Amino acid sequence: MIAVAAAGVSRRYGRRWALANVGFEVPEGALVMVTGRNGSGKTTLLRVLATALRADMGTVRILGRDVTRERDRVRQDTALLGHRTHLYEPLTALENLAVAARFLRADPGRPALLERLEEVGLADRADDVVQTFSAGMRQRLSLARALQQDARVLMLDEPYGHLDPPGFLMIDGLLERLRKKGVTVLMATHLVARGQKICDRSIVLEAGRLVFSGAISEMPRSDADSAGFAEGS
């Protein structure tokens, strides 16, 4: 089954086209690296796919459902980790997840929430308020919240951002577990070398246009170089 199908997707901010006639298909269960230089359209693409933004032109289908006509149903199957955490600063990590659990109709009990925090390495900070957290810890908590949805399609926008080397390994392990569960993951990242080791497929954008979509093994060297970043940047 095709998990994500985009055709002619375009999105404009004022007079600038952030996406221009982007089209591709992603099979269910694939782990996809979305890469490109700053401003190439990676974040806009993930937000359009996750229904956080509407495309000005084109169509997107998630698991066979149109994101415009069936937005609510698509949102049940799709989760997005974005740049902004939107965490409740005065609340603890556990309380933040409890609030999200109620919205998602997930298990709000402490054991279930602690399991999520353990998954991202924050179980020992469960009862600390978010105001005391570093940027990397906030990133981990935001990821735990996104995972609560148990979505079939997960969009991760720079998941390695703000993380230290142990955090990188945590993300690598998480991606492998999601792969085994059959979750479709689209991950925007500048860490091309890392993505090539982990992902099955790649989407490369340049100035809002698609320049490559296919298997990682077939990704041209020139497209990897065009992303402009190497491991560890």
- Give yes or no for residue 226 having a pLDDT over 80: no
Over residues 43-59, the pLDDT tens digits come to 999 999 999 999 999 99
So where are the chain's domains?
2-83+151-226
Mean pLDDT to the nearest integer, 196-205:
96
Query: What is the CA 148 to chain-centroid distance, rounded?
Result: 14
221 pLDDT tier (thresholds 50, 70, 90): confident
Over residues 10-43, the pLDDT tens digits come to 999 999 999 999 999 999 999 999 999 999 999 9
Instruction: Give domain 2-83+151-226's CATH superfamily.
Output: P-loop containing nucleotide triphosphate hydrolases (3.40.50.300)
Proportion of the chain above pLDDT 90, given as a percent: 88
User: What is the Cα Rg of the chain in Å?
Assistant: 17
Other residues' Cβ atoms within 10 Å of the Cβ of residue 129: 15
Mean pLDDT to the nearest integer, 188-217:
95
Q: Give the neighbor-by-neighbor strand order of the sheet with 57-62.
A: 16-27, 2-13, 57-62, 65-66
Specify whether the backbone of 208 is left (phi greater than 0), alpha (psi in -120 to 50) or beta: left
For residue 65, list its beta bridge partners: 62
DSSP-assigned letter for residue 160: T
Phi, psi of 8 (to 5 degrees): 60, 30
224 pLDDT tier (thresholds 50, 70, 90): low
